[in-house]
Amino acid sequence: MKKPELYLGTALAALVATPAFAQDEAEAPSMAENVIIVTAQRQAQSLQEVPIAVSAFSAEALEAQQIENSSDLQLTLPNITYTKTNFTSSSFTIRGIGDLCVGVSCDTATGIHVNDMPLLASRLFETEFFDLERIEVLRGPQGTLFGRNATSGVVNVITAKPDLSGFSASGDFEYGNFNSIKAKGMVNIPIGETLGVRLAGFYLNRDGFTKNLTTGNDIDGRDLYAIRGTLTWEPTADTKVTLMGYYFEEDDNRSRIQKQLCHRDPTGVLGCLPDRLDYDVLNSNATLAGVLSSNELLGIAVAPSFAPLGLNSLYGTDAFSTAQNPRDLRTVAIDYEPTYFAREEIYMAKLEQRLGSMTLNLTGGYSKNRVDSTVDYNLSVQDSLANNAGLLALQAYANTPGFDAIFGPVANALIPNGPAGAACQSATDPNGVGVFGGNSAGCFETSLNFDRSEQDQEQWSIEAHLDSDWDGPFNMLLGGIYLDGKTKDNSYYVNSFGLDYAAGILGAAVTASGATGGLPVYRITPFYRNNSPLMHLKSYGFFGEAYFEATDRLKLTVGLRYNHDEKFLRARTLLYSDGTSSEFSGGAAIIAPYSATTFTDALNYATADFDKATPGVQEWQERSVSFNRMTGRAVVDYELSPDNLLYASYSRGYKSGGINPPLSVGAVNESFAPEKVDAFEIGSKNVFANGKMTLNLTGFYYKYKGLQLSRIISRTSVNDNVDANIWGIEAEAIIAPIPDFVINMNASYLNTEVSATKLLINPRDVSAGRSDTVIIKDISLASNCAVTSTVGSAAAANGYVAAINGGVGLQAPVPIPSTNTTGAFSFCQALFDNAPTVGALFGGIEVTSGVPVDIKGNKLPQAPDFKFSVGAQYTWWLGDLSLVPRLDLTYTGESYGSIFNDQINRIKGYEILNAQIQLNGKDDRWYVRGFIQNITNNDATTGLYVTDQSSGLFTNIFTLDPRRYGVAVGVKF
């Protein structure tokens, strides 16, 4: 495929950012020569000659299509989606495979690289692109060419390097709606003939996209900047050394959650009903704070005299009875406004050394990043706590002689100004003492329900590969990599006054028992915290490929990789946990071990055992796993003519397994297995009409084994393995009937399905729709369990629950709207314990965590079936000036946000329309551009997250940015 006409199409591809094929560090011929050089295979090749499905975007292409960040990038690529996710993260999904694994020990499915260096965790998707040479997106498993394994593909961001040929600089300034101010700049300075420096920077500040009706403030704003410095030294024609340093920081009120949706459950058993998403606020009686601070829990699990101390009755008005959730996706009513902080540093060095007919590439680097964000957990405002009946009872006990020593310290910590004053609650305190130890978030009329997600991560890696450039039919690549990564202080908190209150009242029960010798105590921690202070990854791999040209037209490629991964995780889950007794049974008093010298040192961690499987008292659960795998690929490509290429490939992808975090209640598999994929692909790359049209077609079939999939159990994300089959087709085309008029198009179809029987419990409905099952809200844990009649009798299941509940003063089951079953508040353990005896009187009863459903045949999450995009631009020449209008349309089809393909989890298809017009000066030395993004102001959902049962099963959704418009100016010299 050496025909000159071929390269017209490839040159146009770079200009309009149509899918190309990944590029390398090799110096590319100029656009005037109509050649795009790429190195998806670590060697310089014409993009149309590379037998791999890859898309590449030059700096000009990114600007032409208004691709400013990862969300924009996914709109222009076939079979690729992008969405923010719940825990300060995101998922870049390629051909139906994204980050379905949730947890600190999970590997990403899509490998993220900067200048070929893999990043375990990065804030790269949070910032915007600036001063890049190109972005490459490789679809399909990678491993024999890139240093880290990736099952879905690789995104490789190549930054611009110093140009030693002369001084240059550029600057861009943009102003748009939401008072958006954006600036970019670059200066390139050659120092002599062998040394050059390039400095680049980016700044963005804008108002928030969302209005908070409670305060009148705009939230979800951005305030961030990034700087990058690069030094290149070329002492000889055979030696090149590149050093790069990068710093990014964001500090603003960005929100991790766009909106929270719920169809309210009036019974409180579920919190949110499983039939549809609506603009209600959940029933707080279904939440952990709701049940633990209830009259029923305190009266039954502690003592009848404690019942009046409850903040609410599970059968009465709940704390969100007057809360409002505005129906506009860009409007909220919240009393806790978000905070967001992120920082990233990357330092790397690269040596390219020519050794005769071979080249040594050596890349080493270090990176670290931190993210710390908080957000209103329920995106709503609870009812006022002023003069709450439970607070009045607490104050009365605190003022009563004989009880004051027990309840006085609790009242002083929680309601120092009395029950009519503000209620004080805990900050996200790493020491675990919260408001009882003086670490308070403040005192307020309402409960501030908020969460916090924080993580520190660092890594260093070194990679080397040796590439041959021999005459003759055979060439090869050999490489190896070592990577060491540590994630530190990975914590997720949920805070609520209801949790603080229960910690104090339950602690008072311990004090009243006499076990403390009269010293007042409280239950630690007075908030939920999933805490992993260390996850350590050590990984090394060896990889290589061999290339054999059997004839001038037929080429064979064979690659192999060996990978070894070791992971260590230290973790624990904290909530009222002394490590020995965090569960309550009906009628059982709460007596906990203690170690107290003062009120603020009650029930400290030294008494805890957080690893039940290891003898003795363990402050942490510590686990290690290791994995070894051999993977590879084989490709055959045949040149039908200089304009037409066919190829077929097989590759084996691998992603290491990991360690599930410990649960506060219950147990799951401590580890999850690696996933592997056998990927088959065929492709055709064609140029027609003397370069006026390029058309590339790809078909693929994936057979996944052990695909990692996350679910929530006891307020913690754990991971399972399932098998899946995926197949699809992709078409990419560029049409240029004349040089000044260019149309780019792509379209894709994707089919995904779970291929083997896999029984999972749907957290939204643990009854699986069975009428002979009663859904239970456990009032000690806030999780759900299922009581099922073994003879298929709904009356029997309801009768059994009514009998057990009647014995402890709880009510019988009631119908749950929009479901086929009933529900009740109860104690799952008591129901389980009595099933063999009392249950026999009802024909047989089974009590489980839920009735599993078979997900075989279900579609994978975030895997839309259809997707297409089309863009067109025309250049009018006005003497030395040019005027270029451009229009882009993208459509993304329906998908599901969960492996449970219920209607409630369906994500509707959406379209995005962008337009711009740009006036370019002579020799492109300056420009003025007007733009509009998301012309129709589409608030389409890109992803969703269903929270756990103890939070009420609400759904967080993530959306596209709203309509943006503005003007931009730029200059180059």
Banded model confidence at residue 17, pLDDT cuts 50, 70, 90: very low
Residue among 153, 154, 135, 147 at smallest CA distance from 96: 153
Question: CA–CA separation, 73 vs 319, rounded Å?
Answer: 42
For position 150, what pLDDT does the model report? Answer: 78
pLDDT tens, 637-653?
999 998 999 999 999 98
884 close to 874: Cβ distance less than 8 angstroms: yes
pTM: predicted TM-score of the whole model, two decimal places = 0.90
pLDDT in tens, 780-826: 889 999 999 999 999 999 999 999 999 999 999 999 999 999 999 99
pLDDT tens-digit readout, 823-839: 999 999 899 999 999 99
**CA–CA dist 662, 626 (Å, integer):** 19
pLDDT recorded at residue 667 = 56
Percent of the chain with pLDDT over 70: 90
Helix ranges (DSSP H) in 686-812? 794-808
pLDDT tens readout for residues 403-445: 998 999 999 999 999 999 899 999 998 888 889 888 899 999 9
Condensed to tens digits (0 to 9), the pLDDT of residues 248-261 reads 999 999 998 999 99
Burial of residue 19 (number of CB atoms within 10 Å: 0-12, 13-18, 19+): buried
Cα distance between residue 401 and residue 508, in whole Å: 15
**Nearest Cα residue to 721 out of 711, 712, 735:** 711
483 closest CA partner among 560, 533, 541:
541
* pLDDT tier at 454, thresholds 50, 70, 90: very high
Has residue 767 got a pLDDT over 80? yes
Pairing of strands 528-549, 474-495: antiparallel
Tell me what pLDDT residue 659 has. Answer: 85
Measured CA to CA, the distance from residue 726 to residue 748 in angstroms comes to 13
Write down the pLDDT at residue 590.
33
Region 911-922: what's the mean pLDDT? 95
Query: Cα torsion at 637, 638, 641, 645 (round to 10°)?
Result: -30
- Confidence class for position 587, pLDDT limits 50, 70, 90: very low
**pLDDT at residue 588 greater than cutoff 60:** no
pLDDT band at 601 (very low <50, low <70, confident <90, very high): very low
Q: Is the pLDDT of residue 679 over 60?
A: yes
- Average pLDDT value for residue range 510-537: 83
What's the confidence (pLDDT) of residue 160?
95
For the residues 842-870, what does the mean pLDDT come to?
Answer: 94
Each residue's pLDDT tens digit, 495-511? 999 999 999 998 888 88
| Nearest residue to 428 via CA among 486, 369, 377 | 377
| pLDDT of the residue at 29 | 31
pLDDT at residue 930, rounded to an integer = 97
**pLDDT surpasses 70 at 936:** yes
Over residues 931-959, the mean pLDDT reads 93
pLDDT at 432: 83
Arithmetic mean of pLDDT, 451-468: 94
* Tokens of residue 123, six digits: 């804030």
Q: What is the pLDDT of residue 42?
A: 53
Distances from the Cα of 49 to the Cα of 11, 56, 860, angstroms:
14, 14, 33
pLDDT at 370: 95
The answer to whether residue 600 scores a pLDDT higher than 50 is: no
pLDDT digits (tens, 9 = 90+) for 4-15: 332 333 333 333
485 has a pLDDT exceeding 90: yes
**Does residue 86 register a pLDDT over 80?**
no
Q: 589 pLDDT band (50/70/90 cuts)?
A: very low
Tell me if 846 sits within 8 A of 793, measured CB to CB: no
Higher pLDDT, 47 or 942: 942
Q: What angle separates helix 404-414 from helix 389-398, to the nearest 10 degrees?
A: 130
CB atoms within 10 A of CB 836: 10
Greatest mean pLDDT among 71-85, 552-566, 570-584, 611-625 lies in: 552-566
3-state DSSP percent of the chain in helix, strand and coil, to 5:
15, 45, 40
Please tell me whether residue 10 adopts helix, strand or coil conformation.
helix
Cβ neighbours around 971 below 10 Å, total:
13
Chain center to CA of 220: 18
